[in-house]
Amino acid sequence: MCHRIGVSITLAAHELNRVAARQVLRSPLLLLAFGFGSGLAPRAPGTAGTLAAVPLYLLLVQAGFTVYLALVVFVCVVGIAICGGAARRLGVHDHPGIVWDEFAGFLITMLAAPPGWIGVVAGFCLFRLFDIWKPWPISWVDRKVSGGTGIMLDDVIAGVFAAIILHLAMRAQIL
């Protein structure tokens, strides 16, 4: 009997995290928060969101460094409202499908990336490593900072860490 109750509670919690695709596609806020639908991936939505950010990076980087930097700042600032609003609407603090923060973190990572596909792949891998691993202070922010700021800030820090490693790898002529 207890085993069945545990399974029911687990299934109920899992169902709470599910969001219908039509709900995301009909809401501009959720569409942005879910990375234009990439956050609907049934497995590894954060990785899917980061992958969906690659074409955006390839488009934005053509604008030159100053414009790119301004756009990254814009993505981060509006991301606080987007992620916070989506979390409130869904009733889940940091729903796995909210991947706007992955877009921001990856774009920050790519500030220091070498040009070409090696830089894109290295940036992707390093950002995902820091976003999943969550070394201090990323883990502290993830646990202690709430709302849209908390959702965004851990990925922003992961992006900064990944950018630093990319920059050091370029200086050491590893990349």
Is a pLDDT exceeding 80 seen at residue 118?
A: yes
Residue 17 pLDDT > 90: no
pLDDT above 90 as % of the chain: 83
- In this structure, of 87-96, 98-107, 123-132, the range with the lowest mean pLDDT score is 87-96
Q: Is the pLDDT of residue 1 over 70?
A: no
**What is the average pLDDT score of the chain?**
90
Mean pLDDT of 83-87: 97
DSSP per-residue codes, the chain: -HHHHHHHHHHHHHHHH---HHHHHH-HHHHHHTGGGGGG-SS-HHHHHHHHHHHHHHHHGGG-HHHHHHHHHHHHHHHHHHHHHHHHHHT-TT-TT--HHHHHHHHHHGGGPPSSHHHHHHHHHHHHHHHHH--TTHHHHHHH--HHHHHHHHHHHHHHHHHHHHHHHHHTT--
